[in-house]
């Protein structure tokens, strides 16, 4: 019998981009009892709703993926709500799960928690060596608070929770809304719209010099499920692919894959965000045997194909 076969698993955010892939992976691994709370029924910022959700799902394990997220623009416009909603959701959920007697929690942090200037590749021990990049610091700090709570609760109550730090994700079912999407879906939509309109150029934010690392969403789902089964430590663990690409090269690669022939113009009045992002992923391989397997171009092609099939 598999580890998952008789487990009751609550996946917050299970209907979202990453969550839907985690649910698929849980099913693939033999999990039959998966509870996906919807925000219309359960507001996870409210203590009473969390208690009702736990009573309704009776989970052995909680995978907490629910978050209020967005790109640089959304983070700059809504720093207060990004901080409050994510912090209160994490603090309340962890406390109520502890009181309810949940055996284990898997908590998802964010790469935005790292200091603005972090030596490359980012190692987990660098997390506290400075303040996060200003444009997404409120979100990053709200999610980082869950790591502090996780370690404090392990120390005081013996509560088993793990904390994972995924890099920027991409893939089918991503959020392509330009007001809140991250860089890859935003670029795919922008290029698709420019081609459809017959535009001769496309404007991109910043200078293109910032670098990012990306992890295909199915790889990330596999990592989360593996960690939930095999890892019981207090130390945070990076989830990434170990590759690094500049935004300039990324834009030109997506343009090539989508056959966009127009000029790419850089709006230097807009921020680049954190200068570089690339993770040391050795802990994930050591602790629960995870290594990313989907090549970047292949993942991009699958994402582009999914989006174009949706919009026609």
Q: Assess if residue 192 is contained within a domain.
A: no
Per-residue pLDDT tens over the stretch 134-173? 888 999 999 999 999 999 999 999 999 999 999 999 999 9
Q: In the prediction, which pLDDT does 34 show?
A: 98
Q: Is the pLDDT of residue 40 over 80?
A: yes
Give the CATH number for residue 42: 3.40.50.720
Domain assignment present for residue 258? The answer is no
Point out the residues that are catalytic.
139
What band does 41 get if pLDDT is binned at 50, 70 and 90?
very high
Q: Is residue 299 part of a domain?
A: no
Average pLDDT over residues 38-56: 97
* Distance from C-alpha of 54 to C-alpha of 130, rounded to nearest angstrom: 36
Residue 179 confidence (pLDDT): 79
pLDDT of residue 219: 98
Using the predicted structure, report yes or no on whether residue 221 has a pLDDT greater than 90. yes
The more confident residue out of 105 and 182 is 105
pLDDT at 239 > cutoff 90: yes
Long-range contacts of the stretch 297-301 (C-beta < 8 A, 24+): 297/253, 297/257, 299/170, 299/171, 299/214, 299/216, 300/170, 300/184, 300/253, 300/254, 300/257, 301/257
Contacts from 250-254 at CB under 8 Å and sequence distance 24+?
Answer: 250/183, 250/184, 250/187, 250/212, 251/187, 251/204, 251/208, 253/297, 253/300, 254/184, 254/187, 254/188, 254/191, 254/300, 254/304
The answer to whether position 34 is within a domain reads yes
pLDDT of residue 135: 85
Report yes or no on 271 lying in a domain: no
pTM exceeds cut of 0.85: yes
Residue pair 272/207 in contact (Cβ under 8 Å)? The answer is: yes
pLDDT at residue 71 is higher than 80: no
pLDDT at 75: 75
CA 257, CA 298: separation in Å to the nearest integer?
10
Residue 95 has pLDDT above 80, yes or no: yes
Q: How many CB atoms lie within 10 A of CB 129?
A: 12
The predicted pLDDT at position 70 comes to 72
Question: What residues contact residue 136 under an 8 Å CB cut-off, 6+ apart?
Answer: 72, 75, 82, 112, 273, 274
252-304: per-residue pLDDT in tens?
A: 999 999 999 999 999 999 988 888 889 999 999 999 999 999 999 999 999 99
Q: Mean pLDDT for the chain?
A: 95
112 within some domain: yes
∠ at Cα 81 (75, 83), nearest 5°? Answer: 75
What is the predicted pLDDT for the residue at 154? 98
Tally the domains of the chain: 1
Q: What is the pLDDT of residues 9-39, one digit of tens each?
A: 999 999 999 999 999 999 999 999 999 999 9
In a domain, 80, yes or no: yes
CB 240 within 8 A of CB 213: yes
In a domain, residue 261? The reply is: no
Whether the per-residue pLDDT at 217 is higher than 90: the answer is: yes
pLDDT value of position 178: 84
Cα 143 to Cα 109: distance, rounded to the nearest angstrom? 5
Residue matched to tokens 């910022």: 45
Structural domain of residue 232, as residue ranges?
A: 8-170+215-243+277-293
């Amino acid at each position: 019998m598999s580890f998952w076969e008789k487990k009751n698993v609550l996946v917050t955010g299970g209907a979202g981009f990453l969550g839907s892939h985690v649910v698929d992976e849980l099913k693939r691994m033999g999990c039959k009892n998966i509870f996906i709370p919807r925000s219309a029924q359960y507001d996870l910022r409210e203590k009473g709703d969390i208690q009702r959700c736990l009573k309704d799902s009776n989970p052995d394990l909680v995978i907490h993926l629910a978050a209020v997220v967005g790109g640089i623009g959304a983070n700059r416009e809504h720093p207060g709500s990004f901080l409050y909603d994510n912090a209160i959701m994490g603090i309340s959920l962890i406390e109520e799960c502890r009181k309810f007697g949940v055996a284990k929690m898997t908590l998802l942090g964010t790469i935005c928690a790292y200091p603005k200037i972090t030596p490359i590749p980012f190692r987990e021990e660098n997390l506290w060596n400075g303040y996060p990049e200003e444009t997404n610091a409120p979100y990053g700090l709200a999610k980082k608070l869950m790591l502090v709570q996780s370690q404090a609760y392990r120390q005081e109550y013996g509560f088993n929770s793990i904390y994972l730090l995924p890099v920027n994700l991409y893939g089918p079912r991503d959020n392509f809304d330009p007001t809140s999407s991250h860089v890859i879906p935003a670029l795919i939509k922008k290029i698709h719209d420019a081609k459809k309109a017959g535009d001769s150029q496309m404007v991109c934010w910043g200078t293109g010099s910032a670098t990012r690392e990306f992890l295909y969403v199915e790889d990330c789902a596999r990592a989360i499920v593996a960690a939930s089964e095999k890892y019981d430590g207090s130390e945070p663990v990076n989830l990434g692919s170990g590759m690094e690409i500049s935004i300039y090269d990324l834009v030109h690669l997506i343009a090539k894959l989508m056959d966009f022939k127009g000029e790419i113009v850089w709006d230097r009045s807009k921020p680049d965000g954190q200068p570089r992002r690339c993770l040391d992923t050795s802990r994930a391989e050591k602790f629960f045997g995870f290594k990313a397997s989907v090549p970047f171009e292949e993942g991009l092609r699958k994402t582009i194909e999914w989006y174009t099939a949706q919009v026609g």
